[in-house]
Amino acid sequence: MKKPSWTFQRTPAMGGATGEAFVNTLFGTGMKSAAVLAREVIQNSVDAAADSKKVKLTFRRVTLTGKEKRAFVKSLGLDTEFLK
């Protein structure tokens, strides 16, 4: 699996929407976090679909602990990007 890379956009000198602006908008719906995430994934997948083909999504919820959680965090690069 290819290791993901994180790209963070700097805020322009004249201002701009920070990541916080999007979080506030999404959580302002009153929906639970998982529902907001699912809605965004569905919408982004439909928007990206080639030639207006139907999109099939399957969701499953998994709780990771211990070694599995550490491996997941490491594989996404979260241990180096967010824990400094």
For 50-77, the pLDDT digits (tens) are 777 788 889 888 999 999 999 998 888 8
Would residue 45 count as lying in a domain? yes
Quote the tokens at residue 30.
């009153």
Average pLDDT over the chain reads 76
pTM above 0.85, yes or no: no
pLDDT over 70 percentage in the chain: 67
Cβ burial, residue 36 (10 Å; 0-12/13-18/19+): middle
- Containing structural domain, residue 28: 19-81
Which tops the pLDDT comparison, 55 or 18?
Answer: 55
Compute the distance between CA of residue 61 and CA of residue 69 in angstroms, rounded to an integer. Answer: 14
Would residue 8 count as lying in a domain? no
Q: How many domains does the chain contain in total? A: 1
Would residue 25 count as lying in a domain? yes
Compute the distance between CA of residue 36 and CA of residue 75 in angstroms, rounded to an integer. Answer: 24
pLDDT at position 15, please? 63
